[in-house]
């Protein structure tokens, strides 16, 4: 009831709770001397390093760090990116893609698509030397979306009047408290089109496809892994073990191929709890924030 009558007050309450919990959590982490997790890598002969990319792509830091460590590890002859993600943020997806493109100059990289590798997940995959998917893998969803909720009518009903002081006419573009102008719609549409072209160019580059061919399928639709292979987005049909085998052989491993997974040095329950709480809270308030853009999950 409180959130319905006073949405802004409710937002401030949630935000304050998140900030407070974050401060407490960080303080306890410092006091208890719990370090952020790092990764240990084995040196058991030749191996294929496996980097797992799961869930919403919201941050590139850990993934890039793992790719770099495998790239610098002489015992790792090739890398497999195990992707099971519906998409995510534009920035993180592009950062990981760039790191993959740098890595293929030194070592072979194969992307293994799990149950879902759509939108931003596909963006990352096309940077690899090869892509393996299951026949029923959900992939594609080549597109960009901007979305936000408009509360103007709700605020008028409850008598709240937003007050905005801005430095320019477009500083509050996408404001949830007023109707969007036609000029603003055009600005955002041009922005979406620009990022969309970046996505298309990355696929064309990574998959060695003509731009026109990619443009023809870059309308947000999804494909099965089987259809994706027919379209040139996937090289082989197979599972993770097939991808590891292929990567190992391309990397020059002659005998039995061993998969090397990163593992955390120590587990911090407190950090896990704080991170989980912050993630849940962020997802809860995200619809109430200003304009966001991302490579959308395939179901959106």
Query: Three-state secondary structure along 125-179?
Result: HCCCCEEEECCCCEEECCCCEEECCCCHHHHHHHCCCCCCCCCCCCCCCCCCCCC
Which one of the listed residues 171, 185, 186, 265 is annotated catalytic? Answer: 171
Q: Are 35 and 67 in contact (CB under 8 A)?
A: no
Which of the following is catalytic: 85, 93, 119, 141? 119
Report d(CA 250, CA 32) in Å as an integer.
Answer: 46
Going by DSSP bridges, is the β-strand pair 263-264/39-40 parallel, antiparallel, or unpaired?
A: antiparallel
d(CA 230, CA 209): 13
Pairwise CA distance, residues 111 & 129, whole Å: 8
Q: Is 171 a catalytic residue?
A: yes
Query: In degrees, to the nearest 5, what angle opens at C-alpha 7 toward C-alphas 277 and 151?
Result: 115
Sign of CA dihedral 47, 139, 144, 153: negative
CB atoms within 10 A of CB 82: 20
Q: Does the annotation count 119 as an active-site position? A: yes
Provide the annotated active-site residues: 119, 171
């Amino acid at each position: 009831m409180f959130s319905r009558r006073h949405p802004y007050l409710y937002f401030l309450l949630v935000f304050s709770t998140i900030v407070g919990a974050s401060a407490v959590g960080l303080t306890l982490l410092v006091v208890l001397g719990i370090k952020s997790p790092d990764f240990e890598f084995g040196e058991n002969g030749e191996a294929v390093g496996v980097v797992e990319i799961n869930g919403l792509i919201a941050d590139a830091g850990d993934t890039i760090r793992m790719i770099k460590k495998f790239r610098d590890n002489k015992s790792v002859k090739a890398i497999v990116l195990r992707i099971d993600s519906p998409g995510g943020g534009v920035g993180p997806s592009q950062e990981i893609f760039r790191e993959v493109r740098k890595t293929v100059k030194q070592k072979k990289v194969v992307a293994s698509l799990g149950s879902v590798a759509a939108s931003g997940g596909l963006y990352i995959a096309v940077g690899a030397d090869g892509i393996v998917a299951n026949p029923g893998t959900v992939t594609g969803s080549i597109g960009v979306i901007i979305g936000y909720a408009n509360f103007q009518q709700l605020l008028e009903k409850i008598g709240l009047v937003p007050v905005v002081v801005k430095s320019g006419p477009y500083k509050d573009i996408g404001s949830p408290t007023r109707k969007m102008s036609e000029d603003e719609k055009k600005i955002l549409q041009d922005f979406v089109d620009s990022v969309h072209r970046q996505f298309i160019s990355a696929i064309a580059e990574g998959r060695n496809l003509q731009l026109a061919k990619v443009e023809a399928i870059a309308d947000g639709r999804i494909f099965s892994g089987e259809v994706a292979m027919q379209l040139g987005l996937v090289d082989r049909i197979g599972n993770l073990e097939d991808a590891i085998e292929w990567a190992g052989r391309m990397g020059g491993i002659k005998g039995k191929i061993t998969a090397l997974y990163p593992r955390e040095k120590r587990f911090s329950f407190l950090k896990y709890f704080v991170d989980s709480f912050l993630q849940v809270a962020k997802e809860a308030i995200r619809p109430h924030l200003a304009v966001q853009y991302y490579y959308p999950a395939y179901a959106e």
